[in-house]
Amino acid sequence: MFYKYELHVHDKLCSACAHNTPEEMVDAYRRAGYSGMCFTNHFLRGNTAVDRSLPWEQKMRAYWDAYQRAVKHAEGTDFSVFFGIEHNYGDGKEVLTYGIDLDFLLAHPDIEWYSLDDYAAAVHAAGGFLSQAHPFREARYINPDVLPRPECLDAVEGFNWFNTPAQNARAVQFAKAHNLYRTSGGDVHEKNVAAIGQAGMAFPYKITSGKMLAEALFRHDGRCIVNGTIE
């Protein structure tokens, strides 16, 4: 038996390109039969909905409070909600960050301006896990000449629902060439899209915390969900 978890999802409180509340996203994935999800809202250099003019603590609490709303909404169910971020480190390149929490963000003021090397070092020192989001997506805001840096990564998103098959195939090839683990994500920004139920990771046991999620990813215990099928 496998338990399914979405590892790439956004809500409108923290991601400017999202359309639904954290509660609505939880309901969508519960209906799809998932055991949990990780919110990976766009961080400050990305398409954030958080007011960048706020003091650091208030900005970080905005991310955390949106996540806490989802946690509260899932109380009394067997559905787990985890905290993460999708961090843009420049040139439109982003890393999905798992296993961190509010204390980590509060302890690293201006972390959005860290070099990728320093960002990865800080996340790893805290026990966090990094997967390159949609590594070979082609879009006007992404510099195609800036490639993923495997020395800073723990994985790449080998399947992203909104990437083309060719872009996903290139991600898989990159992972194999650099001996990197692969993750899968729906990259979902609204509650009524075909991506829900088609991506994520399946584990042979339940994941109950963000720390446990990172540890399971480090052990490579999860299997990618690709077009609704557990690989």
Model pTM score = 0.97
Predicted confidence (pLDDT) per residue in 13-36, tens digit: 999 999 999 999 999 999 999 999
At residue 144, the pLDDT reads 92
> Residue 47 is encoded by which pair of tokens?
């398409």
The rounded mean pLDDT for the chain is 98
Number of domains in the chain: 1
Concatenating the DSSP letter of every residue in 142-211 gives: S-TTS---GGG-SEEEEEETTS-HHHHHHHHHHHHHTT-EEEEE--B-SSS-TTTTTEEEEESS---SHH
At residue 203, the pLDDT reads 98
CA distance 180 to 158: 10
Give the mean pLDDT of 95-99: 98
CB contact at 8 A, 221 and 196: no
CATH number of 170's domain: 3.20.20.140
* Residue numbers of the domain that contains 77: 3-230
Predicted confidence (pLDDT) per residue in 116-141, tens digit: 999 999 999 999 999 999 999 999 99
Predicted confidence (pLDDT) per residue in 184-206, tens digit: 999 999 999 999 999 999 999 99
Give the mean pLDDT of 77-86: 98
At residue 130, the pLDDT reads 98
